[in-house]
Amino acid sequence: MARGCRPGCIENQDLMSTPLNAPLRRIAHLDMDAFYASVELLRYPQLKGLPVVIGGGRRAQNDDLQAAQDERAPHSIPVADFPRLKDYSGRGVITTATYAARQFGVGSAMGLMKAARLCPQAILLPVDFAAYRHYSRTFKDIILDIAPLMEDRGIDEVYIDFTQVPGGQREGGRVLARLIQKAIYDATALTCSVGVAPNKLLAKMASEFNKPNGIAIVFEDDLEGRFWPLACRKINGIGPKADEKLQQLGIHTIGELAQKDVGWLIDHFGQKTGAWMFDAAHGIDCRPVVLESEPVSISRETTFERDLHAVRDRAELGAIFTRLCEQVAQDLQRKGYVGKTIGIKLRFDDFKSVTRDLTLPDHTFDAATIRHHAGLCLKRIALQQKLRLLGVRVGSLMTAAEHHLWRQHEAPLQQVQTAMDLET
């Protein structure tokens, strides 16, 4: 969960100790509008207004489209030549659906088979992460040119600290938000929505207020009027489980949540979550905008075309397992990390998942080492049931550069220490 800090909250200290004419803390949340679909429409403008879903498995379910692309410019492919949802067979979920497709009840994370029954005529496009990453890089670079304090929150979202940016205070941030929107649109023809608020929590919610292509400016005084009527689920960090529990306790809106006292919330949700919920309902969040962060783990996983059995499909499973380990090793090396916790994840045909991991004495990025220890993890699981997913993870990361230094200095010292221990 996205947690604010509670004791010694910087924001609270600032309120008490900052001079009267200090700039107001102004945090923006920027969210690209229907990002994947919008990028696809840049390529295939002929699909504008039609029900389109993006998703599917790795299989070349779009052979027709692939063939067509070889010969024709994307924008000249007739709509009739695009593959339809009804012609798809196999696993996979929808990553994004256009508004026209959502009219049919089709939405993100829905299985493609189910979606095909709801809207068989919808056009199905394969995900093209290379294209989305390219546009992601482009819009983030544009923002960085204008406002350097940006936190990356994934492929289509960022937080930006407007507080000290020239013009960031004008109209509560609206002027700067408009400038960024225009710069992104001029360069990419993509639209985004921006919320500007005293902190990340409120900014994130505010960016949804005027979607698409909208701006929402909010201040602390807007808490009761604009946030308290919203469903608790709108708080970033309250998901389906917490929401259901809140509903059962008779709490449906953020305003109702705010009426409960901290102690009561802590009794029902635990120290940390209870205190955090209380703060969130009162619009309190002092998390800073974080410019850079190191990854904690790197993983690869895959859902099989069909469920596999550990014994009957041993060869196939073994090949996939080895490939996943090699991919993780490559990812580590490419990104410059080593890790010492090797883990696996299995999902059975009934969708139950289990994980196993073990920690090595030293860090590694070696595919064979990862494969060996992932294999040891796998041996600790009974494999009667068929499997639908296998994953490999490396955690407890440090950068390869740090590890290099560590081996030069720390490791020899430890060896000396061990030798001394043995002598005594």
Partner DNA sequence: TCTGGGGTCCTAGGACCC
Catalytic positions, written as ranges: 157
Binding flag, residue 38, DNA (CB under 7 A): no
Report CA 231 to chain centroid distance, whole Å. Answer: 22
User: What SS3 class is residue 27?
Assistant: strand
Considering only residues 170 through 229, tell me which ones interact with DNA, judged by CB under 7 A. Answer: 204
Work out how close the CB of 215 gets to DNA at its nearest, in angstroms, rounded to a whole number: 18
Q: Minimal CA–CA distance to 215: which of 197, 200, 193?
A: 193
Instruction: Write out the H or E segment, with its range, that includes residue 404.
Output: helix 400-423
The residue whose two tokens read 């000290």 is 164
Work out how close the CB of 219 gets to DNA at its nearest, in angstroms, rounded to a whole number: 22
Considering only residues 55 through 94, tell me which ones interact with DNA, judged by CB under 7 A. Answer: 57-58, 91-93
- Specify the amino acid at residue 193: S
Binding flag, residue 295, DNA (CB under 7 A): yes
Nearer to DNA among residue 24 and residue 268 (C-beta) = 268
Report residue 183 as tokens. 């710069």
Binding flag, residue 50, DNA (CB under 7 A): no
Decide: 38 and 190 in contact? Cβ < 8 Å.
yes
SS (H, E, C) 227-289: HCCCEHHHCCCCCHHHHHHHHHCCCCEHHHHHHCCHHHHHHHHCHHHHHHHHHHHCCCCCCCC
Nearer to DNA among residue 18 and residue 353 (C-beta) = 353
Task: Build a one-symbol-per-residue string for 96-135: x at contacts with DNA by CB under 7 A, - elsewhere.
Answer: ------------xx-x-xx--x------------------
Rounded CA-CA distance 150/140 in Å is 8
Binding test (CB under 7 A) with DNA, winner from 137, 314, 380, 404 = 380
Nearer to DNA among residue 153 and residue 178 (C-beta) = 153
Binding flag, residue 420, DNA (CB under 7 A): no
Decide: 326 and 368 in contact? Cβ < 8 Å.
no
Binding flag, residue 243, DNA (CB under 7 A): yes
Q: Which stretch binds DNA (CB under 7 A): 73-81, 210-218, 252-260, 289-297?
A: 289-297
Q: Which residues bind DNA (CB under 7 A)?
A: 1-3, 57-58, 91-93, 95, 108-109, 111, 113-114, 117, 153-157, 204, 235-243, 270-273, 295-303, 331, 341, 343, 350-351, 353-359, 377, 380, 388-389, 391, 396
